[in-house]
Structure 1
Amino acid sequence: MSGADIGHGGAISVDPDALRELANRMDAAAVGHDEAARVLRSAYERIVDTPGLSALVDTVAMWALGHRAAVLHGECVDAAASTRLMADTYEYVELLVEARTRGLGAAGDEARAGMRRLEESDPRIPDLARGLIERWEDERFAGLVTQVPLGGLLGPVGVFPALVGAASGRGVITRGSRLRGAADAVTVSPVKTAMPSAAPSGLAGALNRIPEKRGAQVAVEKYSFAGGVAKYVVYVKGTQTFAPGDMGGPDPWDMKSNFQLYVGQNSASYEATLAAVEAAGAEPGDEVRIVAHSQGGMIASHFAMESAYDVPLVVTAGSPVDPTLDSDQTLVTLGYTDDSVRALAGGGSPAGTGSPDSVSVTAEHSPGFARGDFGDPHLLASYVELAEDADAAGDPRIESVDRLWGELDDADVIERTEYRAERVIP
């Protein structure tokens, strides 16, 4: 696996406001260097103008220090200006995506007005923004063409999802979208209970709580706090059967649900997830975090965008889609660029999505042909490895996500229930 790339998602690697704050700190450093240069120059002049004093002081070194301080002042000023230009460029990309998704309404007009304001402030910004998007488009499927024929989940045809995702635009669920139609009826039953001692530790710990065995597709953890407050974490599996003959079979986590969710239709697996959360005791407005793999990522995306719950955190691994979340929702996406299922997302949104703490973790699972054991990048175990790399990276954005898990450790009681769903077949 190549080294994990941790960013904000799409062509945006960091939050523009974070860059502007960095530029402000550079400005403060520039002021300090300018003051140091002024003091050193003044001291130098006094020393050389005072008879006999220059013999006691290394005036050459003092002049060199003053010159170096002046050079550092100029470098800080230039770096701050470049950082602000990059922040404006990232904001331009965000506004461009907002304008496209909002269309001709008032929100779209507001985004376009913001783009014009940035263009007027610096005419270089549109070209820089285009360059960012083009580089992201070139890199978003790195290794997919070479990896898939070596035994990827979908075999040689696995390269086509990248084309489908990029061309159809279905890889990003636009703001305001809701699943259409009625889903097949399902039954949902608890099959296993446990009492974990703590909340998950890190991204890898969260992925490892997705039900492993075939007995359950969804797990719900209830965190009960003093005063009667309860918060929940939902873990959703990926597709359980790929056989075309099983479309509409007993297991709702099948290719029928895959197709329905990808084209924006309701599915038995989505309804089963809602039923499991309700069965665990969650009520509308309750805080529910959700962690999901593969098809579960589509379920999690719609759950965060249209369910009746407050969803502050969404973690997806190998999801065929990305949601468009609000600024108070944190999205963590893990994706291998050579995962043919993840490729259906078309690279996701060029501007990223969710809160400023949202983070995208990407890597190429099987670069080149030199390795003997390539494995399948889409497997949950492969994504656990990517999550482990992210946890170990020491990135402040990953540490911010960890704090969202830490909030749950103060719970008085933690109850975990795994649920088995079956489609009702007439």
Structure 2
Amino acid sequence: MSDEIEIRGGGAVAVDTHTLRAAASRFLTARAELDALRDRLGSLQLMLLVERDVAWQAAGSASVLSARLADTMAEADAIAHDLRVAATVYEIVELDAQRTAAALAGDDAALARIDARRDDLMRLHPDAVGQARLFEFERAIMWPSELVRETTQFGYDLGGLFDDLLGEGLGKTFEFAPGVVAGAALGTLTIAGAAITGAGGTGRVPHDGRLTGAMPGVAIARVSSGATSAPAGLAAAAARVPTGDARVRVEVYTMPDGSRQFATYIAGMRDASVAGGRDPWDSESNVQLYTREKSASYAATLQALEAAGAKPGDTVHVFGHSQGAMIGSHIALESGYDTRTLVTFGSPVEADVGSGTLSVGIRHSDDAVAALAGGGHAAPVGAPGSFVVERVVDEEAGMSSHGISAYADTAAKVDASTDPRVDALRDTFAELATAVEVDVVEYSAERTG
């Protein structure tokens, strides 16, 4: 397993363009200071040359120093230029994503503002547009690179096993060894699937994305209830995602002012059945939610919140794994609750939630389910302070990267991080910790139709 996590503000660009431009300005300031020093050194050189009979060595040293200062100034100019071009490239990528969103929303004022800024940037750096297009193309191709690597390795190992079972002579019969063929085939299929997913955009739910169809029939039953306390951090929240008989856990927080807030934890798929069996958390619900259709598991989650006392407009914090993450995403988009927090573990989708929802996406780069999100939105989503965490879990190829236990391990690494982008989520947990009372109830569910 890898201990390294990448935390970014979301979207295609993990770079702060303001910081790049500020760094460029500092290099130019240093260049100006070096220029002033070189001017003073020039005067000293003239004095030394006048007295070269007694100061020849000093005059030579001053000349060498002046040449080195000139080289350093040229390097400072080049670095400042490169930083400014990089900032422009990244900003154009961000503006392109914002322009797409504005066009879809029919926001003509935003389109005019974005186009004006893009025009200004292109006048300053004409080559930046081509570099931005190349960056976007590379992201579209390279975002599933870890998954491609692991599936290729898996195919190679599988082909080698097949060769061993049938005898070592099989590899000599064909021009290429079975492992090479199988690895190339699985890797190519993964690239093709990723390209289709990314281009189709099914995994990127827009801000106005809504589930369609009638609400399926479902019945919930209370599994357990009691008192608890607020989770101390992201790992503790991940540990509360149901793994037993329960499918939905709801916590009711009574705050010091008498108001109430709710936290819900939603399980991932439990049944691989595609025929719509008794358990709503099955493959049928997966397909329905991914294609933006109401599922029995979505209906059960809404029933659980209502049974726990949540009413439209109430504050809700949502934590969901896999199928539960898709359910939570649509709760944030369309349920009528004031969804302050949306934390997803291994979600097949990324929802463009509004500016009132703190969005935290935990993804594993080698998780095929998380890859269905197509790399997520090109622009950041959610309220200020939202972020995305990525990590490679199984570097030797395997299927463990999607389990909630692997995501809980990643969550613990986020908790241990000193990255300031995690502060907004820490503030949420700190606020919940002030509750004077926390009641918890867990629900199971069954289809009734």
One-letter amino acid of the counterpart of residue 339, structure 1: D
Range 192-201 or range 225-234, more displaced = 192-201
The match for 1:19 is 17
Matched, 1:228 2:258: yes
Distance 2:61 2:361 in 1: 53
The match for 2:214 is 182
1:311 aligns to what SS in structure 2? strand
The match for 1:240 is 270
* Larger RCO of the pair (alpha carbons < 8 Å, separation 6+): 1
The match for 1:406 is 430
2:349 aligns to what SS in structure 1? coil
Q: Deviations over 1:14-58 (max 9, x none)?
A: 3xxx43156336636754785687589769979x98xxxxx9xx9
Task: Answer yes or no: is the 8 Å Cα contact 1:40–1:62 preserved in 2.
Answer: no
Alignment of 1:111-150 (within 5 A): 111-148=114-151, 149=154
Matched, 1:204 2:235: yes
Distance 1:76 1:125 in 2: 20
One-letter amino acid of the counterpart of residue 416, structure 2: A
Distance 1:301 1:35 in 2: 53
Alignment of 1:5-84 (within 5 A): 5-14=6-15, 18-21=16-19, 23-24=21-22, 27=25, 31=29, 34=32, 38=36, 79=79, 82-84=82-84
The match for 2:414 is 390
Matched, 1:260 2:261: no
Q: Deviations over 1:202-232 (max 9, x none)?
A: x22221111121x211112222212222222
1:241 aligns to what SS in structure 2? coil
Task: Evaluate the alpha carbon distance shift between residue 224 and residue 135 of structure 1 in structure 2; reply closer, same or farther with a 3 A threshold.
Answer: same
Distance 1:289 1:178 in 2: 19
RMSD: 3.7
1:284 aligns to what SS in structure 2? coil
Distance 1:82 1:357 in 2: 29
Q: Which has the larger radius of gyration?
A: 2
Task: Evaluate the alpha carbon distance shift between residue 191 and residue 397 of structure 1 in structure 2; reply closer, same or farther with a 3 A threshold.
Answer: same
2:380 aligns to what SS in structure 1? coil
Alignment of 1:339-354 (within 5 A): 339-354=367-382
The match for 2:174 is none
Tell me the CA shift for residue 121 of structure 1: 3.5
Task: Evaluate the alpha carbon distance shift between residue 36 and residue 59 of structure 1 in structure 2; reply closer, same or farther with a 3 A threshold.
Answer: farther
1:291 aligns to what SS in structure 2? strand
Distance 1:405 1:395 in 2: 16
Task: Answer yes or no: is the 8 Å Cα contact 1:194–1:416 preserved in 2.
Answer: yes
Task: Answer yes or no: is the 8 Å Cα contact 2:270–2:281 preserved in 1.
Answer: yes
User: What 5-or-longer segments of structure 2 have no aligned partner?
Assistant: 48-54, 159-185
1:143 aligns to what SS in structure 2? helix
Q: What is the identity percentage for the equivalent residue pairs of Structure 1 and Structure 2?
A: 33
One-letter amino acid of the counterpart of residue 313, structure 1: T
**Which structure shows the higher helix fraction?**
2
Task: Evaluate the alpha carbon distance shift between residue 62 and residue 195 of structure 1 in structure 2; reply closer, same or farther with a 3 A threshold.
Answer: farther
Task: Evaluate the alpha carbon distance shift between residue 407 and residue 125 of structure 1 in structure 2; reply closer, same or farther with a 3 A threshold.
Answer: farther
Matched, 1:109 2:111: yes
One-letter amino acid of the counterpart of residue 169, structure 1: G
Structure 2-normalised TM-score? 0.77
The match for 1:94 is 94
Q: Deviations over 1:54-104 (max 9, x none)?
A: x9xx99999999999998887667655544443433332233223334348
